[in-house]
Amino acid sequence: MKMIVGLGNPGPKYLMTRHNVGFMVIDSLAHRWNCPSDFREDKKALVTKIKTSNEDVLLVKPQTFMNLSGESVQPLMNFYKIELKDLLVVHDEVDLPFGQLRFVINRGHGGQNGVRNIHDRLGSKAYGRLRLGVGSPPHPDFSVADYVLQAYSKSEQSHLPDVLSLACEAIEFFVDNGLEKTANEYNSAKGTINL
């Protein structure tokens, strides 16, 4: 079984913010896989389990707020006996431009507090992550925290469906082929939307 975790913050206030792009990807996958309303509460998260052609997949949206995401990820992994190689965490990344995605494994948290908490709770960073570029603040004095908690710009919103579609396509490839092949396939021009 694979476990795909989208990071974000619960509640309507955060719904369309850059920090919630992980939740947006999970919702897009659920819609794409015809289970958009099948989420239930489990281990401080909203989860739904689906069967693809080759694999059972658990879609997860932690409801702990971003910085405590590990409090739901670790218990779910234990309960469902998920191996690190079968975990993929999807999150916003300010070090990548909007429209670009990159897969990584065994890397530091890079200041992303949700990822930091997952590292701490799992005692490992040897799992896959899908970093979705949200761009960086417009000037150095602009707080990163304030930036990621803002809604996407109108221009970004017009391209967001394409970004989410690309992320879903890449995750489907991961489910069938694993992280190494997926990184080789998408950590290239293929992993970037032309804006």
CATH class for domain 2-191? alpha beta
pLDDT of 110 > 80? The answer is no
Enumerate the active-site residues: 19
Q: Give the residue, 20 or 109, on which the prediction is more confident.
A: 20
pLDDT of residue 111: 72
Helix (H) or strand (E) holding 113: helix 113-122
pTM confidence score: 0.95
- Residues found in the chain: 195
The C-alpha angle with vertex 59 and arms to 128 and 64, in degrees rounded to 5, equals 85
Q: Which residue has the tokens 């949700």?
A: 114
In this predicted model, what pLDDT tens digit does every residue of 76-94 receive, in sequence order? 999 999 999 999 999 999 9
Pairing of β 40-42 and β 101-105: unpaired
- Mean pLDDT in the chain? 94
- Residue 38: exposure state from Cβ atoms within 10 A (0-12, 13-18, ≥19): middle
Asked if 72 and 62 count as a contact pair (C-beta separation under 8 A), the reply is yes
Enumerate the domain spans of the chain.
Answer: 2-191
In this predicted model, what pLDDT tens digit does every residue of 11-25 receive, in sequence order? 999 999 999 999 999
